[in-house]
Amino acid sequence: MNDPADACAQLQQELVLLVTGDAPRSRRARQNLARALEQLGLGDIATREVDLAADPAQTLSYGIFATPALLRPGPNGQPDVLYGDLSERDMLERFLAEG
Amino acid sequence: MNEQQLIKRATDIPGLDAMTGGGLPAAGGTLMLGRPAAGKTVLALQILAHAIARSEGGVFVSFEESCAQILRDAASFRWGPSLAEAERFELIDARPQLGAEVSGAFDLEGLLAAVGLCLERRQASWVVFDGVDHLLRRQRNPLDAIDQVQQLSDWCEARGVSLLLTGKLGDAETAPTHLEGVEFMLSTLILVSTKLVGHRLSRRLRIAKYRGTAHVADEVAMIMDHDGVHLPHGHYAAQVATGRIEASTERLSTGVARLDEVLGGGLYRGSTALISGLPGTAKTTLAASFAASATARGERVLYLSFDEDQEPVVRNLRSVGIDLRGPLDRGLLHFAAREAWSGLVEEHYWALHQALDRLRPQCLVIDPISALLKAPGVDSAFVSIERILDIAHLRGITTVLTSLGTRDDPQGEATLSHTSTLADTWLALDFNVRGGERNRSLSLVKSRGSAHSNQVRELLLSERGIDLADVYEYGTEVLMGTARMQKESEVHAERRRRVLARQQRQHELERRLSQAEAEAAQLRQELALEQQDSVQTEQFDREHERDVLARRSTRTAHSDAPQGDETP
């Protein structure tokens, strides 16, 4: 059985983008995240990408099964999660702003 | 596509395998939809538990409940603990994060990567996505969600894995909310539903679609007990499809010698007898007599009693000379008491079916079968009774049913329940009230395969047991009890008078014969004397004649001689 708490505990002040190789939605998520960070002047926020296709065990570790997904540190050690290809700019900006 | 092209994987749920003709697709998805508490998760877990029991691996991906909840769900079933400890079982908590939001479309590539890893390390051939709609409803575009259901199925089909997808339905829905049309995507669709019947939860299952193979499309009752999910109809259909009914000519005693005579030697083995009548007409006594007689032959009997417990029945029967304690102690008689109101018709049916499987009895008593009419259920009591009797016939079980009637319609309920039509032998019990007396009567309404009389007989109960007495017609009535005994006495006296008269006549004839024989002897003696006298007379006459002749001869000689010599 997976224990997402272990993986999420590693989330410090960085963003984690869970992707699956070069799948279309993963590709779009990378692009949308990079564009948003740049436009919001948040280019200094550390962003780490985890390829679940290359390392499927990480899916179980994070307990995230819809991809792509953007994770940020949340209260009580649990990450906040934003699913999707991050194409909805308002949602993405709010997510980044609350972090 | 034909049967040869579709490979199936057994679920080892006999009813389901029977209805699907061997199981679910060995490669690809089966969609199982139903309302909450319909039993989707349990059915899926049970299929995995059975697969793991036969050394196939399984992966369960939960989108709604935590792993602990899933294991608690499973632990309430017999197979639950072994499933939780199985090395080839993997349980994945795939619930979406609390408070998670969505920005654009997502896919299930990460999920498939993880599941692929688990399938490989568990060498699994089954995967369950339980409540996948809980995740997919977050898709902005429902068409994406539907495509991803298809993707899951295709992914499993390519890997030769059986996929079971469960999803919730609301009232009057045919697909999960936001997933309209998903029911058309997969080749196999199972619908499970619930219905309150008499304040009891009744579960149903229907195979709404199974492309490429024959299947039972009827909605059937789904029972859930400690062993998990059961589909009695499918179980029944499988037995009927492969079974063959034998027609035995062996007769079995009812325990009442005169009734056996009436029946032409007893009940046929494997046949069904119905005993109907009002309360107190000795239905239970007669049925128990049959049971006791069977156990006396060393046969196993299952006695299913509705609404009356074992000990009162045993005590009451002892007072009429029927001992059930001995057979119970020897393990030949198994007494099962059930409250008709305590379960659905299908639950009673299934409990009986399980008891037949477990005990393998040669004889079955259900007392009274009419109690099933009181039980709530989506399944008709009539249909359940027919199935019970079909199975009994298939297994060669000789069955005695009792059916309770009412004063207004003593035999009506039996007729209503169709049991009388199904039964090979129908014994109708009643009361005969005359002259302030109430006497039990028995009539044989029908007995297939036996010449029999429809005459009413009096049923006599005593501490020595049961017996039948002939009854006498008096005009349009029949005489029983004291009237019958009085008539019997009259008949006996008349018979005795006739015997005495016959004896007197015989004595007179014997006397006359003796007299005649004495006269004959005397006449014979006189005749002998007469004959003797006759012989002597004839002898004398012949001697006299010879003497005369001799004298004449001498005289003639003298006359021819010379005169001188003539003698004077």
**Tens digits of residue pLDDT in B20-36:** 999 999 999 999 999 88
Q: Do A88 and B103 touch (CB under 8 A)?
A: yes
Task: Report which DSSP code applies to B184.
Answer: G
CATH 3.40.50.300 domain range(s) in chain B: 8-242, 260-470
Chain B residues in contact with A97 by the CB 8 A cut-off are: none
Helices (H), B24-139: 40-53, 67-75, 80-85, 109-122, 133-136
Please name the amino acid found at residue B5. Q
> How remote is the C-alpha of A62 from its chain's centroid?
11
DSSP string, chain A: ---HHHHHHT-SS-EEEEE-TT-HHHHHHHHHHHHHHHHTT-TTS-EEEEETTT-THHHHHHT--SBSEEEE--GGGPPEEEES-S--HHHHHHHHHH-
Cα–Cα distance list, B2 to A17, B213, B510 (Å): 47, 7, 94
Confidence of residue B327 (pLDDT cuts 50, 70, 90): very high
For residues B453-464, average pLDDT? 83
In three-state secondary structure terms, B289 is: helix
Q: Which residues contact B518 (CB under 8 A, 6 or more apart)?
A: none
Give the rounded percent of residues in chain B with a pLDDT score beyond 70: 93
Q: Report CA dihedral (B311, B313, B316, B319) to the nearest 10 degrees.
A: -90
How far is the C-alpha of A99 from the C-alpha of B14, rounded, in Å?
A: 54
* Averaged pLDDT for residues B484-502: 86
Looking at the complex, report in whole angstroms how far the Cα of residue A92 sits from the nearest Cα belonging to chain B.
7
Looking at residue B240, what is its pLDDT? 77
* Model pLDDT for residues B421-450, shown as the tens digit of each residue: 889 999 999 888 777 778 898 988 888 877
Is residue B193 within 8 Å of residue B38, measured between CB atoms? yes
pLDDT at res. B490: 83
**Residue B274: burial class (beta carbons within 10 Å; 0-12, 13-18, 19+):** buried
Cα B137 to Cα B535: distance, rounded to the nearest angstrom: 143
Which two structure tokens, joined as six digits, stand for B181?
């049309």
- As given in the structure block, the two tokens for residue B66 are 């935590």
Angstrom distance (rounded) from CA B115 to CA B127: 8
**Residue B3 clears pLDDT 60, i.e. is over it:** no
**Percent of chain B scoring above 90 in pLDDT:** 63
B140 burial level (CB within 10 Å; 0-12, 13-18, 19+): middle
Q: How far apart (Å, rounded) are the C-alpha atoms in residues B440 and B454? A: 16
CATH of domain A4-98: 3.40.30.10
- Cα distance between residue B490 and residue B470, in whole Å: 14
Q: Mean pLDDT: which of A40-44, B279-283, B309-313, B473-477 is highest?
A: B309-313
DSSP letters along B370-418, please? GGGGGS--SS-HHHHHHHHHHHHHHTT-EEEEEEE--SSSTTHHHHHTT
Question: What average pLDDT is seen over chain B?
Answer: 89
Chain B residue numbers with beta carbons less than 8 Å from the beta carbon of A2 are 92-93
Residue A4 is predicted with a pLDDT of: 47
Tell me the three state secondary structure of residue B557: helix
B103 touches chain A (CB under 8 A): yes
pLDDT tens digits, one per residue of B352-365: 999 999 999 999 99
Contacts of B110 in chain A (CB under 8 A): 18, 20, 52-53, 56, 59, 64-67, 69
User: Can you read off the two tokens belonging to residue B311?
Assistant: 């000990």
Task: Show residues of chain A in contact with B92, CB under 8 Å.
Answer: 1-2, 60, 65
Picking from B408, B317, B405, the residue whose alpha carbon sits closest to that of residue B369 is B405
Of B397, B350, B345, B353, the closest CA to residue B369 belongs to B345
The alpha helices in B177-249, defined as continuous H runs, are 232-242
How big is the CA angle at B23 (ends B20 and B27), to the nearest 5 degrees?
120
What per-residue confidence (pLDDT) applies to B412?
Answer: 58
What pLDDT is stored for residue B517 in this prediction?
95
CA distances from B543 to B530, B534, B550 (A): 20, 14, 10
Q: Which residue in this structure is represented by tokens 């072994």?
A: B82
Amino acid B379: pLDDT:
72
Pair of tokens at residue B439: 């006497």
Residue B87 near chain A (CB below 8 Å)? no
Nearest chain A alpha carbon to B70: A1
Q: Could you tell me what percent of chain A has a pLDDT over 90?
A: 66
Nearest-angstrom CA–CA distance, B395 and B401: 17
Q: Which CATH superfamily is domain B8-242 in?
A: P-loop containing nucleotide triphosphate hydrolases (3.40.50.300)
Can you give the C-alpha Rg of chain A in angstroms? 13
CB-CB neighbors (< 8 A) of A60 in chain B: 92, 114, 117-118
Helix (H, G, I), strand (E, B) or coil at B248: coil
Res B250: pLDDT? 95
| Whole-angstrom distance, CA of residue A90 vs CA of residue B523 | 151
The token pair at B248 is 């035995």
pLDDT given at position B1? 43
Any idea where the domains of chain A sit in the sequence?
Answer: 4-98
Q: Taking a C-beta distance cutoff of 8 angstroms, is the pair B267, B425 a contact?
A: yes
- For A3-36, the pLDDT digits (tens) are 544 544 444 568 999 999 999 999 999 999 999 9
Residue B542, H or E segment: helix B481-560
Q: Which CATH class is domain B260-470?
A: alpha beta
Note whether A84 contacts B109, CB cutoff 8 Å: no
Query: Is the model's pLDDT at A76 over the cut of 80?
Result: no
Q: How many CA atoms lie within 13 A of B391 on its CB side?
A: 24
Interface of B with A in 226-285 (CB under 8 A): none
Scored b (16 or more CB within 10 A) or e, B482-501 reads ebbeebeeeeeeeeeeeeee
Smallest CA-to-CA distance from A32 within B106, B46, B231 is with: B106
> B96 touching A, CB under 8 A?
yes
pLDDT tens figures, B95-148: 998 889 999 999 999 999 999 999 999 999 999 999 998 899 899 888 999 999
pLDDT of residue B325 exceeding 50:
yes
Whole-number pLDDT of residue A11: 47
pLDDT band at B408 (very low <50, low <70, confident <90, very high): low
- Among the partner-chain residues A64, A81, A86, the one whose CB lies closest to the CB of B110 is A64
Between CA B91 and CA B59 the distance in angstroms is: 6
Section B492-516 average pLDDT: 93
Pairing type for strands B477-479 and B472-474 reads: antiparallel
